[in-house]
Amino acid sequence: MNKRILVISDTHCPYHHPDLIPYLKAIKKKYKPDRVVHIGDEVDSHAISFHDSDPDLYSAGDEREQSLTTIHAMEKLFPVVDLMDSNHGSLVYRRQKATGLPRAAMKTYNEYLEVGPGWKWHDDLLITMSNRQQVYFCHGKAANVLKVAQQYGCLQYKDTIILVILYNTGVIPTV
């Protein structure tokens, strides 16, 4: 139907906001989204970053294990989600590629995060809304997001309802 899309951004599990799941439950109850898109960075993967890591944070294995509780709670709440490939979310594959391991040697995202087939990852996604307008989703394809949106004709929203959770603010708005 694509009338109400819930857009979730940058949860960075296990370093997510402690009220993430209760907030998502409240959003679901109040707005009843018919589609959910996670813009990416669903997990942080700090321990395997190409940048310097903080030795006082979780190891790679611990970080994954700590993330799974929240990931499973999100999947229970939203069994069908379109997720965008992202710099943090794809770290497992980028590390594998950097070491020369073939993709066949790795688990899929679904296997790695222990989620069902309702969670699907995309490089980018173009959704046609119920009012026939299109909305383009991606994670960091260009520094100028408005320019990319203009290329896809996605600047007019009119009756479209899109809810966005912004992780970077550190504040979860009241529902």
Residue 18 near residue 12 (C-beta atoms within 8 A)? no
**Run of H or E including 53:** none
- Residues of the chain with pLDDT > 90, as a percent, come to 43
Average pLDDT over the chain, rounded to whole? 83
For 79-128, what is each residue's pLDDT tens digit?
999 999 988 888 888 888 888 888 888 888 999 999 999 999 998 899 98
* DSSP at 173: P
pLDDT band at 157 (very low <50, low <70, confident <90, very high): very low
Which fold would CATH assign to domain 4-169? Purple Acid Phosphatase; chain A, domain 2 (3.60.21)
23 three-class SS: helix
Q: What are the residue ranges of helices labelled H in the chain?
A: 20-31, 60-77, 91-98, 109-113, 145-151
Domain residue limits, the chain: 4-169
